[in-house]
Structure 1
Amino acid sequence: MIPGPARQFLVQRAQRVRKTAVRLARPLTEALVTGAPDPARPRSRRLTPRVPRALGLLPFRTIDLVLLGDLALTLILFGGGLSYLQTQAAAAGSLLDQEGLMFAALTFSLPLALRGRWPLAAWRSAVLLIPLGLVVSRQLLGGIPYTGSVPIMYTLVVYAVAVRCERHITVGVWIVSVLGAWMIHPDSTAFVTGMVTASVLFGYNVRARRLAAGLLAQEERRSERALAAQAALEERARIARELHDVVAHHMSVIAIQAEAVPLQASGDARRLEDGLREIRALSLSAMNEMRRVLGVLREGDGHIDTAPQPGLGRLEELVDTARSAGLDVTLKLIGDLAGLPTAVSLSAYRITQESLSNAMRHAPGSTVSLKIARYGAELHVQVTNSAGHRSSGTPGEAGHMGHGLIGMRERVSVLGGKLWVGPTGTGFAVTAILPIIEDA
């Protein structure tokens, strides 16, 4: 009986030996039987030129220069090896027939023609064919039993395996190559080991650089997609601000008009009809602006809406709409406002529109002072409203706590300006300073 501690020690040793055997067997098994190379990289256009029109009847449209080079080198090695074997056979007076010499020369060169598309299959065929060719060449050659074409062919095949296969498969190829060289010709083991090692290291280095370049390209594509998504989000935010400005302003005016018109008409059918006509005109204006904004979302063919954006040129129209809703608006313009950049003019218009909309909603009937002035390279927008006839909380504050304030701050931030929003006395004030940038 084996004592308990000794039995446990033997079991642990057996497990370690089994794990070591599995680790050694895996690269050998995948190299010889189960392994597969990575897909071939697409050739550059320089290496795959198009077939000339004069050769248009060929079944292929491009010429793979790498494959063509492998085939040419295969023929050169075959011809050179066959010539060398024939010379040695004639010198030795061998009775070997021509077919046997051709077979030996073919086994020493054929795997090279397969390495471009099937590198692992090319190496496996070399491992099988080289010993068969040695049966013939050993009778003719003294010393090293193979021709000079074998090292060239085998080095290129091993390089192709190292470039296209995973590391453990390449390790298995290296082990089999070294063991095979030792069994075939022990004196040349050191030479073959150095040759195969150099080929493996060079091929692995090329593979590592290609993988790194592929990962870098993937990261660049991922970054481009992230930037595109960010741009889409920014565009959606811009459209949301536009929609908010349009809906908040026009719907506020329409709601106030719908409430005030019956009171103002006092049973007068004509005044009621005029009021309803004005409400209809405001509704159509709101619908047209919403169509323009939503059209950007509907158009998937890359078409860009070229309709002009509103600006300070429509300021009088905006003020008239606010007055028709019951606000007492005083407008004061200072400086030349005609030559403002589009972005500055649009932002000033939207800030004014949002401020008037808040006054309509939260301080109906209030007195509004609107001042827009250009001082050098800055545009100042100031909108101040009183408490109104029936204030709902702090005038204007409720509206500014939502999308209105966010939209204002974003517009001013994009231009690098400043914004102040808050109560003043019994009313509310909005002050914005927008830098005038010519290319804005």
Structure 2
Amino acid sequence: MARWGVPGAVLVRPFALALFRGDADPPPRSPRLSVTVPSWLRVLVPVERVSLVQVAELLLAAVLFVTTQNMVSGWIVQAAVSGRTPVPVPAGLSFLTAASAALPVALRDRWPLAAWRAAFVLLPVALWTAFQVGAGEPPYTMPTALSYLMVLYSVAVRCERRVTLAVWILTVLTAWIVQPNSMPMVTVVVTVAVLLGHNVRVRRTATSRLAEEKRRSRLAEGAQAVLEERARIARELHDVVAHHMSVIAIQAEAVPIRAAGDPAQLETGLAEIRQLSLEAIAELRQVLGVLRDQDGRTETAPQPGLDRVDELVANARSAGLTVLVVRSGALEGLGQAVELSAYRIVQESLSNAMRHAPGSAVRVELAREGGELRLRVAGGPGTRPGGPPGAGQGLVGMRERAALLGGVLEAGPVPGGGFEVAARLPVGERGGG
């Protein structure tokens, strides 16, 4: 018994959904098919906007009701006069027959499945009346047939496929019970209406899925752009903070030793530290300028380039490094992206030398060869112990900068002690920015 229970439930469930428990998708709404209700009319119509589709269907329902009621009333009178009816037909049946055509149309926009249920329940009334008054073969009045086909279309558009199939089966079985001779014609007409509605549902579903995929794609692209921007800002902040804080820390340690109790020397050293701090703050503001303020303004100051390498060298020398800069080739017109990356690579390399090899000699080479900017920063061993190894984020940031421009960067220790950073940055449409 249990083995047959599950398939039986699967077969019966669509009919239960169609007749009792199922529901339809909400109606699609378009702002172009609705109008705003004037304020003076909202006493009678307590809504802000009215759907033109609902208004049109209510008007159609009213027309169907009046037409069907007049038509059936005329048939009842004619049948009573001619004596064709075996039993008297109450005049009130004309109202029920009219309701069987009008009520489903009035309900189908908001509740298509409920509209079909109403049509299915009221259909015997319309059929019995047509049989009694001798309306003809088959016993389907035009308003009732039109109303039923409109409801079937709405069910196919707005309901699940299994519910639509159950509604189709019940309709065809009813046509066979009512009049077997008319069943083929009814089946064809009903099937066309159902297939047309199902095709519209499939197209709407595909369109909505495509729109959802586009929305998700836009969100993913936005999230990726945010991550890339965060990574770029993080690289800039790391380079700025690491360089300036290293210089400030070394200066703060060296100033008392150099001053040796001389107030003038101490004052001069503190002034240098203050100047470095102000430069760090200014550069941080420039980096953070990519974040808009509440008025929508952004910082538009130019990014640092190779023309400011001498400032880095001066800071490094004040911190105790011996720095030699060698330039060759035309170093103008490299492009903002290339110059910024080269500047940051030199900045990070000098910061590493100050932290890990204090007092060392550093050689900075900048050369333009063909379509490349070649950059080399080589430092020797320090004259005093340096700080502990860091997390390696500086080297990672330098490699990322070179890779974004299509270049390469190599870094590592050299024989005899010391460290070397060598980079090749392409100068062109991609690298030049």
TM over 0.5: yes
**How do 1:40-439 residues align onto structure 2 when only pairs under 5 Å count?**
40-43=27-30, 45-46=31-32, 48-50=33-35, 57=41, 59=45, 62=49, 64-82=51-69, 84-85=71-72, 88-89=75-76, 91-92=78-79, 93=81, 100-140=93-133, 141-294=135-288, 296=290, 299=293, 303-390=297-384, 398=389, 402-426=392-416, 427-437=418-428
Choose the corresponding residue for 1:37, options 24, 37, 56.
Answer: 24
Change in 2 beyond 3 A, CA 1:50/1:69: closer
Cα distance between partner residues in 2 of 1:52 and 1:154:
31
SS at match of 1:267: coil
Distance 2:296 2:406 in 1: 29
Q: Return the match for 1:26 from 9, 13, 28.
A: 13
Per-residue CA deviation, residues 199-253 of structure 1 (Å, 9 max, x unaligned), is: 2222222222222222222222222222211111111111111121112111211
1: CA distance, partners of 2:89 / 2:392: 97
What CA distance in whole angstroms lies between the structure 1 residues aligned with 2:385 and 2:379? 11
**Letter of the 2:100 counterpart:** T
Alpha-carbon contact 1:415-1:434 (below 8 Å) kept: yes
Q: In 2, distance between residues paired with 1:87 and 1:201?
A: 36
Judged with a 3 Å threshold, the aligned counterparts in structure 2 of structure 1 residues 330 and 18 are, in CA distance, closer, same or farther, namely closer
Please give the secondary structure, in 1, of the residue aligned with 2:236.
Answer: helix
Q: Could you report, residue by residue, the CA deviation over 1:349-395 in whole angstroms, capped at 9, with x for unpaired residues?
A: 101101111111122212222222334433222212222313659xx
Q: Distance in 2 between matches of 1:302 and 1:229?
A: 21
Q: 1:135 Cα deviation (Å)?
A: 3.4
Aligned-residue offset at 1:276: 1.8
Quote the offset at 1:157 in angstroms: 0.2
Question: Match of 2:303, SS?
Answer: coil
The answer to whether the 8 Å contact 2:371/2:428 transfers is: yes
Q: Structure 1's 320 and 115: CA in aligned 2 closer, same or farther, altered over 3 A?
A: same
Q: Identify the range of structure 1 (58-67 vs 32-41) with the bigger mean alpha-carbon deviation.
A: 58-67
Between 1:27-36 and 1:209-218, the stretch displaced more is: 209-218
Q: 1:309-357, CA deviations, whole angstroms, 9 ceiling, x for partnerless residues?
A: 2222322211111110111112233344343322111111101101111
Structure 2 CA distance, aligned partners of 1:304 and 1:225? 24
- TM-score (normalizing by structure 2): 0.86
How many pairs were matched up?
A: 420
- Is residue 335–residue 374 contact of structure 1 (8 Å, CA) maintained in 2? yes
Secondary structure of the 2:395 match is helix
Distance 2:4 2:316 in 1: 90
How far apart in 1 are the matches of 2:166 and 2:69? 31
Secondary structure at the aligned position of 2:132 is classed as coil
Structure 1 stretch displaced more, 341-350 or 326-335 = 326-335
Inter-partner Cα distance in structure 2 for 1:437 and 1:62: 58
State whether residues 418 and 433 of structure 1, in contact with CA within 8 Å, keep that contact through their aligned partners in structure 2.
yes
CA distance 1:335–1:50, change in 2 (3 Å): farther
Moved more, 346-355 or 78-87: 78-87
Equivalent-residue separation in structure 1 for 2:294 and 2:21 (angstroms): 49
CA distance in 2, matches of 1:20, 1:375: 78
In structure 2, relative to structure 1, the CA distance for the partners of 1:189 and 1:219 (3 Å cut) is same
CA deviation after TM superposition for structure 1 residue 103, in Å: 4.0
Query: 2:35 touches 2:51 (CA, 8 Å); kept in 1?
Result: no
Tell me how far apart the structure 2 counterparts of residues 413 and 56 of structure 1 sit (CA, whole Å). 67
Q: CA RMSD in A?
A: 2.9
The corresponding residue for 1:3 is: none
Query: 1:422 offset after TM fit, Å?
Result: 2.6
SS in 1 for 2:411: strand
On the 8 A contact 1:313/1:338 being kept in 2, the answer is no
Q: Structure 1 vs Structure 2: percent identity of aligned residues?
A: 51
CA deviation digits over 1:10-55, x for unaligned, max 9?
xxxx334544442333222211111111222232x44x154598x9
8 Å contact from structure 1 (residues 104, 137) kept in 2: no
Aligned residue type for 1:32: L
Change (3 A) 1:355 1:20: closer
- In structure 1, how many angstroms separate the alpha carbons of the residues matched to 2:292 and 2:354? 32
Secondary structure in 1 aligned to 2:182? Answer: helix
Task: Provide the secondary structure at the position in 1 that maps to 2:334.
Answer: coil
Q: Which residue identity lines up with residue 23 of structure 1 in the other structure?
A: V
Deviation string 1:167-223 (CA, Å, 9 cap, x unpaired) is: 222222123212222232232222222222232222222222222222222222222
Amino acid across the alignment from 2:119: A
Distance in 2 between residues matched to 1:197 and 1:69, nearest whole Å: 26
Change (3 A) 1:322 1:118: same
In the aligned structure 1, how far is the partner of 2:253 from the partner of 2:175?
100
The alpha carbon displacement at 1:144 in A equals 1.9
Distance 1:336 1:112, change over 3 A: same
